[in-house]
Structure 1
Amino acid sequence: MIEVSLPHVTFEDVGDSIRLVWRETLYADFDKKELIRVIKRKYRVKPELIIKDGRLFIDTDYPGIEKYIAIYIQNNLGALLRNRYTKRKVLYIHEGLDVPLLGYNAFGLIDRGTNLIQVRGVSGCNLSCVFCSVDEGPYSRTRKLDYVVDIDYLMKWFDEVARIKGKGLEAHLDGQGEPLIYPFRVELVQALREHPNVSVISMQSNGTLLNDKLVEELAEAGLDRVNLSIHSLDPDKAKMLMGRKDYDLQHVLDMAEALVNAGIDVLIAPVIIFGVNDNEAEAFIEFARKIGAGKRWPALGFQNYVPYKFGRNPVIAKVKPFKEFYAWLRALEEKTGMKPLVLKPEHFGMEKREFIPLAFRPGEVVKAEVVLPGRIEGEMIAKARNRLIEVINTRAEVGDRIRVRIVRTRHGIYIGTPV
């Protein structure tokens, strides 16, 4: 038998297909009969394909056959790639596509006029929180595909953004979903730590994909803080809010403590839905104190639930005006002595910085090339002036050249409609 070996890959037998799992977070299913046909056409043999302990073997001793199949798999991987958690098709964004990484909300880089740069290498989530503002996760009804950005290409664009924004930057790994499903998560932290303009590296996470090994790797790579999304300390309520019956609250709580012990600061970040989990506020504070969260930054970041047009807005949710929400936080500060709970940019060392210059003006009509499908029905992604534009309410296809009216430019996120 000969083994087919590929870097960062394990194999699974899923019936009629062989599943290739790449870097734990992506997969591709290859039809067994097609693989055997490929081998037969080239070598005039019809071997058996065997999966053992995550490894793929070909039941033959024919020399060179393993390299031939490895090349075949690599050449066809892109068309078959899927997100392991959402099961959606994945578009892999690399330098050869010449797709800008500024202008779109789901992947790339976002500058909101401060020294914090949002770094989004991936879209998609392993959970389906009932209040998710972008309807993410395995049970999404609106999101039809995911993106993964090649790490070298992502860092190339980060270099340019950092050159404009200056030193003392915070690189914040977040996204429309869970950043830890990014296949190059540890390597990205390492690359950012080595960047001369980066002072702080932080990450938003639900914590479910963490384990002791990954925590250690992230700490060694240089991660400074995790904003940990924990929305209830009651296991059953937590499962309901996270939208998953298999959500393991105790594992996330253990990982929160493991992060602190590894030298990574933790900020507990519950979304407060009044009438559902606001009565747990003091328990959140007690847990944060218990594990030693908030050594360099605030220990808690309570968030007020806000409904969104394209999000999941549960009927159980009561929307509280922000004036009342902040009054609630101040009362909590007085009662518990935990401060600050009303958070301000200066608590995180955030300062205003000049925006990356806008490429378009609201109302402007531009000629653009459609380069990618969007995430929801009627949305495509176009490029012009080295920026991306989310084009809504369109029937355009990839490769089309269209005229687009810019309707939104806030924070360098460009939205347009076809003219």
Structure 2
Amino acid sequence: MAITNPRKLKSNQQEWFHYRTGELHVENLCLNDIAREVPTPFYCYSAEAMRWAYSILSDALSPIGVSICFAVKANSNIAVLRLLSECGCGMDIVSAGELERALTAGAPASQIIFSGVGKTRAEIARALEAGIHQINVESAAEIEVVAEVARSLGLRATIALRVNPDVDAKTHAKITTATRGSKFGIAIDDIPELYARAAARPELNVQGLAVHIGSQVQDLSPFRRAFAAMAALVTALREKGLEVPRLDLGGGIGIAVGDNPGPDIAEYAAIIAETVGNLGCHLTVEPGRWLVGRAGLLVTELLYLKDGQDGPIAIVDAGMNDLVRPALYDAKHPALPFHQAKGAAASPRYRIVGPICESSDDFGAYEGLGELKAGTLLAFDCAGAYGASMASTYNSRDLVAEILVDGDHFRTIRRRQSIREMLELEDAGDWQSGSAPARKAAG
């Protein structure tokens, strides 16, 4: 299926990405001016778009007492984390590396939640020493390890138990996290016994429950089912005399793509209020894509055109190593031409592919781009989440740069990492001898 531009950008349209005098702008800057200074491919973010997204979500959720923690895995750039932290946003992390990024960005440790199924002892220790808000534990085995680490440090670990409620979010299979058989969370039926056992441990401060059903969720009804299940579980635990002061509702709110306007945030807030709003719990949500997805573009240059079986193939300099979502999740990122297309309706249907030596390095078929030629600059839209944070150096390609625009200024917030710098990481070390094999004792 060919993709057309979902925003229907028009001249003088007041939006972060808009056409002015026929040229694509980011806020008040012509994107072409940035591209003259920064080699493609590169990511370009709008600061105002992120502030807007946070304000919309905060305005809807603050009246019902919900705190917001940004899912750092969506975009872990320090400048992005600093911007959101300055807005008042907390952080949801899934590694010690993300913890260091959040702290470096100025996020208070008391507003950081540590999620993820495979935390190491060293990561748990670092989180406890930093004094984060809570650790979301995802198995009985992890509960034991957290208790052991806390005891060794002479600390008490604040935890929440992540619940797998067996709710299908009706999204892509690779970003669905709360169905039976998923690696995430603890089966809902096992929670009461584990919660009681954990609450009895002196090393643990059990503060509540957590849930996360998936990513890019467009239909809000799975949220209602999951949150209703959590409400029933909270009630059941309290009936057993257990305290449940906190409830972490996870993230997963989708964004508008194509003709889909995306979920209604007012309806999302209403679902939270109606299902868990009367429990007296401190509520938290952990959006990632919602806060940054629409704030980013991936800028690329068209290198070659060639004839294909179903029309022209446009080969660009951005590849799946720069933006892996199309290859990994079958994601479709709309493409915006730098120069507003004239006669777009009559223009060819282009298949846009990258330079990586993989058949999956294919961004899809696009219409309405006008006539393309070598040297044409394009921008893949809605690329602010799970773009740069998932980028790699596959095929020994440079790691993509990141640019932040704020009003009529821009700056590099991550410089391009060259092959020369990568080769320096592979300087040969000294050979070391292993332990000699043990000799068999004489009989």
TM-score by length of 2: 0.29
Query: Which gives a bigger RCO, structure 1 or 2 (Cα 8 Å, sep 6+)?
Result: 2
TM-score by length of 1: 0.30
